Amino acid sequence: MGPEAVINKSLAELSRALQSKETSSVDLTRAFLERMDTGQGLNAFITVDGDRALEQARAADARIARGDAGSLTGMPLAHKDIFCTKGLLTTCGSKILSNFVAPYNATLIERFNQAGAVILGKTNMDEFAMGSSNETSYFGAVENPWDRACVPGGSSGGSAAAVAARLAPAATGTDTGGSIRQPAAFCGITGLKPSYGRVSRYGMVAFASSLDQGGVLTRSAEDAAYLLSVMAGFDPRDSTSIDRPADDYVGSLEQDISGLTIGLPRQFFGEGLDPEVGRRVEAAIEEYKRLGVKAVDIDMPNCSLAVPCYYVLGPAEASSNLARYDGVRYGYRAPEYADLIDMYKKTRSQGFGAEVKRRILIGTYVLSAGYYDAYYLKALKLRRLIAQEFEQAFQICDLIVGPTTPTTAFKLGAKVDDPIAMYLNDIYTIPANLSGLPGISIPAGFDNAGHPVGLQLIGRYFDEARLLNMAHHYQRVTDWHKHTPAGFA
């Protein structure tokens, strides 16, 4: 199997090719490493260790030869640079961790290693996952392969760009307020955020601990099902991990969806939604109706307040989580300082970027004695109300469907100086994080400029199997997920 044939196959197809020995993990890994070396220039990766990847590939080929292989044995994957990976840099896109080599593996990395997968490299990201455009990274902005003058979305923009440009068959990401689904929409791929607690957060560097969730970016829902089958499951090392067995995500893909009901929130189709995005989403809904799915309008007024709620709770948790980066134990330390307090100040001032500092300051403010009740406590109450709206909605529908983002990808630099406009990109994705619900974004066409449009599906708690099933049926009758950016085919 030649390099071009390898690059354009889905993860599921590559898995079958490896099992049938039509290709080898070494050949597969080398093909993707060579593609990354050709100078695609997207800045999608922070760290690539080709020697290590090929060593893992040779070990995987030996497992396959012994007949001791699973569905992902020998599969080269990319990982967001927020997952601790033993022996590799884990930077979180920040100067303050630019020299940090993790001494252990995150549970997610460990499970892929046990499955025999190959680590191609660590992908670029917004600093500490704080951003919606992948422009806050210390290592520079990532470009969108569909339009290199545009952002790929964030914070998992490096992972999304790598998969869209066929630099990797699939990649991991994290989603705190839409950081998997939004870049998936901007880059024309599939992005799955599982339920909170479904995938272990052990070894995943924290931004906002009650919101962060690991997930995947892939070409298709079928590919996402393969990855989630390895990632999902209880982890005693993570106090937020749910002791609940994983479902048969791959086996559930073909289940009949006729007779299911999708809810269409009025708040997701009103003011602020780009008309072209709206038309593509409506066309996707019509496609579901042809598949026998019913649609009902639902009202979720509190979801319109999700953005201010999130930008109180998220920064509050970040201000606590990021207090550990002080230059004492690991990471960057200011080269010159007068005393310990001066070292703290200069290390954090020099080590953190502008967006991270902004959120730490906001978080510290809303947690302060005079403002805790006025901001933080009210945000917690609103979070509960948003979760209750979803509970009520799921009494009349099986899934909730709408646009992933209000617009398609915007120009690099267009919103850097306007944080409020940047934050509003996540208006449709944040409610699922506040409620801990699973969500998936799948490609649903293109706008007039050729930029991808994303369709979002939100399910009940731990209903990832149904989400993947619904997405898979849509992808069986459409080919939006098979399109490749010009110059990357």
Q: What amino acid positions are annotated as catalytic residues?
A: 80, 155, 179
**Distance, CA of 33 to chain centre:** 22
**Whole-angstrom Cα distance, residue 178 to residue 458?**
12
Question: Per this entry, what is the length of the chain?
Answer: 489
Nearest C-alpha neighbor of 41 from the set 190, 152, 153: 152
Q: Strands 439-446, 190-193: parallel, antiparallel or unpaired by DSSP?
A: antiparallel
Which residue do the tokens 């947690």 mark? 367
Which residues, other chains included, contact 210 with Cβ-Cβ below 8 Å and sequence gap of 6+? 196, 240, 313, 317
DSSP state of 147: B
Instruction: Please provide residue 119's backbone torsions phi and psi, each rounded to the nearest 5 degrees.
Output: -90, 110
Is residue 225 within 8 A of residue 475, CB to CB? The reply is no
**Whole-angstrom Cα distance, residue 379 to residue 377?**
5
**Whole-angstrom Cα distance, residue 202 to residue 140?**
27
Greatest C-alpha distance within the chain: 70
CA distances (Å), origin 72, targets 111, 124, 376: 11, 23, 43
- Indicate the SS3 state at residue 232: strand
Which residues, other chains included, contact 225 with Cβ-Cβ below 8 Å and sequence gap of 6+? 249, 250, 252, 253, 468, 472
Beta-bridged to residue 48, according to DSSP, are 121
Which residues, other chains included, contact 435 with Cβ-Cβ below 8 Å and sequence gap of 6+? 383, 386, 387, 390
Q: In 10 A of CB 297, how many CB atoms?
A: 10
DSSP assignment of 317-385 equals: HHHHHGGG-SSSSSS---S--SSHHHHHHHHHHHHS-HHHHHHHHHHHHHHSTTTIIIIIIHHHHHHHH
Strand order in the sheet with 214-218: 45-48, 118-123, 76-80, 171-174, 214-218, 190-193, 439-446, 452-458, 399-403, 261-265, 294-298
Q: What angle do CA 81, 85, 88 make, to 5 degrees?
A: 85
